[in-house]
Structure 1
Amino acid sequence: MNNNSFLFSAKGIYIAAFLSFNTIMYAQKAADISTISEKTLNSILEKNRTYSTQGKVADYIPELGKMDGKAIAFSVVEKNGRVVNVGDVHKKFTMQSISKIIALMIAVNEKGESGVFDKMGYFGTDKPFNHFSNLETTGKPLNPMMNAGAILTTSLISGEGEKPFLKILEMVRYITKDQTIDYSKSVYESEKSTGHRNRGMFYLMKNNGLISGNEDQLDNYFKQCSIELTAEDLAKIGYFFANQCVRFDGDAKYKNEEVAKLVESQMLIAGMYEFSGEYARTVGLPSKSGVGGGITVSVPGRMGIGVFSPALDQHGNSSAGYHMILDLVKQYGLSLF
Structure 2
Amino acid sequence: MPGVCLGIFLSGVIMKKFKLGLLGAARVAFCTCVGGFLFTIPFFALSCRNMDVAGLTAPYPGPEALRGAASGVISSCNSACGCPQHQWDPVCGQDGITYATPCLAGCTFTKGAGRNMTFHGCSCVQSSGLSWGNSSAALGQCAREQACSTMGYIYLGLMVASFFIYCLGSTPMFIISLRSVEPELKSLAVGVFMLLLRVLGGIPAPIYFGALIDYTCIKWGSRKCGGRGACRLYDIDTFRFLYLGVTTCLRLLGYVIFWLTISQIKRTLVKAGRTQDIELQRAQENQEITPGHTADETESLYISDGKAANGSEKMCITDGNAANESEEMDIGEKMVITDRHTCNMHIDDKNTSQISD
Both proteins in one fold, TM over 0.5:
no
**Which one has the bigger helix percentage?**
1
TM-score, with length taken from structure 1: 0.18
Which of structures 1 and 2 has the bigger CA Rg?
2
Greater relative contact order structure (CA < 8 Å, 6+ sep): 1
